[in-house]
Amino acid sequence: MPKFIYALGLILYLVFFPMTDIASAERAIEWLEFRVPLQEQAEFIQQDRLIWDKFLRQYPAFLGKEIWQGIDQPDRLIIVAKWASYQEWKAIPPDKIKAITDRFHHALGKEYPIIHSHAFSLK
């Protein structure tokens, strides 16, 4: 049931916030799910914005992101990132992703593993 709710949330998001230009068929959505205790979420979100947003804005393919909190599972945070294309998103060097991930974990003083990750294309 929770997977259905997450999928429904993504569908509703795409319906209410469509990307309507011609290139939208190539655009990609990155879906990352984390389990973060409620009392740690404010710090997680703050560090995500300070570290990840700054890093990702260096790449023109990065179109923005949102952080969603589960209603039925409030300890779940979903990061939904929009990309100009899957190929451009995946062209970010893995060593840079690892370095920024390590910096993020260091800033938080602990690691929050990704529970689920998905990639979607917009049609």
CA distance 115 to 11: 20
Q: Which amino acid is at 119?
A: A
* One pLDDT digit (tens) per residue for the chain, 123 residues: 555 444 444 444 444 444 444 344 489 999 999 999 999 999 999 999 999 999 999 999 999 999 999 999 999 999 999 999 999 999 999 999 999 999 999 999 999 999 999 999 988
Question: Which one-letter DSSP state was computed for residue 21?
Answer: S
CA distance 92 to 100: 12
Q: What is the pLDDT of residue 13?
A: 47
Q: What is the pLDDT of residue 25?
A: 46
Q: What is the pLDDT of residue 2?
A: 52
Domains of the chain with bracketed CATH: 24-121 (3.30.70.100)
Which candidate, 88, 106, 95, places its Cα nearest to that of 47?
106
**Encoded tokens for 58:** 């260096």
Per DSSP (E only), the strands in 1-123 are 28-35, 62-69, 76-83, 114-121
Q: What is the pLDDT of residue 62?
A: 98
